[in-house]
């Protein structure tokens, strides 16, 4: 059982001690992949994707660049991976955040200490590489080190995998932070908005995630804004009432933040100063995140993906009516699983002129389709054009009839569909219906079809990457 260690980094000083510890523990240097978090593909999600896609190991162990593995970490890691059943996609390490023993923790220290109970935290998380490939890895629309791990975990669980707790441990020290870090931290509300858009209400309970006091923040911010507006309009009584509401809400938040802390002069001053700005910062990032999330999900991904059968999902056997000859194209089952995990509806659209030519009966084609779905998993409706080329139907690709029918059955506008196929007729049918077409060439695809296609992917996995917005 092989594994690689992937470490996204912004080159913090803690990276050196981490690398030295891994080598000291016996991790071969060639199994450690340090990936720069920067350039055109910014963010830890993009860095981790580059790391695991460059790996051929069975498991990929993600570490943050500011942790330090315990001295038995490698032994425990190997035991964790060996104990993982085949349906286990990930094994989480234990995180220990040391705190000062002679005083209460500050607001910032309590926040970092929360990593000890965080679910699926990639500070130390080992994932089976095949599971990552099946769901497409991390969603790079999470540009910060926040919620990208929860999103991946939910998608894996939704795809039928299990995530379990291991026994290895890393130390995660509390890093330095200035007094305004708590305000900057409110940017995570935008990522919560994206999680809501992707996974629906209750996502935080499924992911074991803590969410901020969002409605209170919105209420306190609304009170402040309307108090200022009332004052500007000369409505003194309303302004005083709303101002009192703002002051009460702000004071309650400050009290909750001060109570568990050390209560020294610097900490109390920091909490009071930042509490004034936390509600408006949280409200702004939440509302802006909702707008951004809707735009991202609307613009970047189709609502449904239609797939050609022969040459795209199945190895092409001309006029096949024998279920025993059904063979999946490599990666086809994983591609459909990834689409399901992403919440994208699917259907199969296929020209079967062998029926119209009298070469294969309709019931034999249906039997082949049933066998294919047994191997692929749920694929949505199977739509077939049974006509010979000279019958003048409107459903034989490159005409758009099958696309229109599939879109109607799935309840999706044709322009929000994509069609993946291996010949020019597939791409032309998509274009005729106003859908997006992606060509995955095979040996029978003509060079002129490749040249004429607006989007071409080398294989089915790459086509799904292209459609769901994952960068290789």
Mean pLDDT by 10 residues, the chain (472 residues): 93 93 96 81 82 91 96 97 96 96 91 93 94 78 89 85 96 92 93 88 88 88 95 94 94 92 89 94 94 74 93 95 95 91 91 95 96 93 95 93 94 91 94 90 90 85 80 40
Helix (H) or strand (E) holding 127: strand 124-128
Query: Nearest 5°: phi and psi at 421?
Result: -150, 180
CA pair distance 158, 373, nearest whole angstrom? 19
**Catalytic: which of 139, 151, 308, 422?**
308
Q: What's the pLDDT score for residue 381?
A: 93
CA pair distance 333, 422, nearest whole angstrom? 17
CA of 358: how far to CAs of 232, 266, 438, in Å? 82, 86, 31
CA of 37: how far to CAs of 10, 172, 177, 189, 326, in Å? 6, 19, 20, 22, 44
> 167, 94 in Cβ contact below 8 A?
yes
CA pair distance 433, 138, nearest whole angstrom? 32
For residues 380-389, one letter each, b for 16 or more C-beta atoms within 10 angstroms of the residue's C-beta and e for the rest, the string is: bebbbbbbbe
Helix (H) or strand (E) holding 374: helix 362-376
**151 assigned to active site:** no
Strands (E), 172-286: none
**Catalytic: which of 66, 107, 191, 310?**
310
Interaxial angle between packed helices 236-258 and 265-275, expressed in degrees from 0 to 180 and rounded to the nearest 10? 140
Query: Nearest 5°: phi and psi at 167?
Result: -115, -10
C-beta atoms surrounding 263 within 10 Å: 12
Q: What's the pLDDT score for residue 39?
A: 53
Residue with tokens 């004034």: 276
Alpha carbon 405 to its chain's center? 30
> 398, 419 in Cβ contact below 8 A?
no
Beta-carbon contacts of residue 77 (< 8 Å; ≥ 6 apart): 3, 61, 93, 126, 166, 168
CA pair distance 117, 208, nearest whole angstrom? 9
CA pair distance 349, 9, nearest whole angstrom? 44
SS3 200: coil
Compute, in degrees rounded to 10, the torsion defined by CA atoms 373, 374, 378, 383: 20
Alpha carbon 42 to its chain's center? 15
Which domains are present in the chain?
3-177 (3.90.550.10), 178-300 (no CATH), 301-468 (3.40.50.1000)
SS3 325: helix
What's the maximum distance between 2 C-alpha atoms anywhere in the chain? 89
CA pair distance 87, 90, nearest whole angstrom? 9
C-beta atoms surrounding 306 within 10 Å: 33
> 120, 162 in Cβ contact below 8 A?
no
SS3 396: coil
C-beta atoms surrounding 447 within 10 Å: 8
> 172, 99 in Cβ contact below 8 A?
no
CA pair distance 436, 415, nearest whole angstrom? 7
Where on the phi/psi map is residue 90: left (φ > 0), alpha (ψ -120 to 50), or beta? beta
Where on the phi/psi map is residue 120: left (φ > 0), alpha (ψ -120 to 50), or beta? left
**178 assigned to active site:** no
């Amino acid at each position: 059982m092989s594994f690689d260690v992937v470490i996204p980094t912004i080159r913090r000083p803690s990276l050196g001690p981490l690398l030295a510890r891994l080598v000291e523990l016996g991790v071969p240097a060639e199994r450690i992949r340090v990936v720069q978090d920067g350039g055109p593909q910014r963010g830890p999600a993009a860095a981790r994707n580059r790391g695991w896609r460059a790996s051929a190991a069975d498991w990929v162990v993600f570490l943050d660049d500011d942790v330090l593995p315990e001295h038995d970490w490698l032994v425990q890691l190997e035991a964790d991976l060996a104990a993982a059943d085949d349906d286990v996609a990930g094994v989480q390490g234990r995180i220990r955040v040391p705190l000062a023993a002679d005083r209460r923790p500050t607001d910032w220290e309590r926040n970092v200490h929360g990593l000890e109970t965080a679910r699926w935290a990639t500070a130390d998380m080992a994932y089976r590489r095949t599971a990552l490939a099946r769901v497409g890895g991390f969603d790079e629309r999470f540009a910060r080190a926040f919620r990208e791990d929860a999103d991946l975990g939910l998608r894996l669980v939704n795809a039928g995998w299990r995530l379990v707790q291991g026994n290895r441990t890393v130390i995660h020290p509390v890093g330095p932070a200035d007094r305004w870090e708590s305000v900057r931290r409110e940017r995570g509300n935008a990522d919560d908005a994206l999680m809501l858009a992707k996974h629906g209400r209750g996502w935080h309970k499924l992911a074991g995630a803590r969410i901020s006091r969002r409605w209170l923040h919105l209420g306190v911010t609304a009170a402040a804004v309307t108090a200022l507006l009332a004052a500007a309009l000369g409505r003194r009584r309303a302004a005083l009432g709303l101002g009192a509401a703002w002051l009460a809400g702000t004071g309650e938040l400050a009290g909750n933040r001060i109570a568990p802390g050390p209560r020294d002069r610097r900490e109390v001053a920091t909490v009071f100063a930042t509490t004034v700005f936390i509600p408006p910062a949280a409200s702004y990032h939440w509302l802006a995140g909702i707008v951004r999330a809707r735009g991202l999900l609307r613009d970047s991904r189709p609502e449904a993906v239609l797939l050609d059968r022969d040459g795209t999902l199945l190895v092409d056997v001309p006029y096949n009516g024998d279920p025993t000859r059904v063979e999946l194209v490599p990666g086809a089952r994983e591609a459909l699983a990834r689409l399901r995990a992403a919440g994208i509806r699917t259907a199969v659209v296929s020209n079967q002129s062998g029926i119209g030519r009298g070469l294969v009966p309709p019931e034999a084609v249906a039997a082949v389709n049933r066998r294919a779905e047994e191997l692929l998993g749920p694929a949505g409706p199977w739509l077939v054009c049974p006509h010979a080329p000279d019958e003048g139907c409107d459903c034989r690709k490159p005409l758009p009839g099958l696309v229109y029918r599939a879109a109607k059955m799935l309840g999706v506008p044709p322009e929000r569909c994509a069609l993946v196929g291996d010949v020019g007729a597939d791409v032309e049918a998509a274009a005729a219906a106003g859908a997006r077409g992606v060509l995955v060439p095979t040996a029978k695809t003509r060079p002129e079809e490749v040249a004429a296609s607006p989007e071409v992917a080398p294989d089915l996995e790459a086509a799904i990457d292209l459609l769901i917005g994952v960068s290789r």
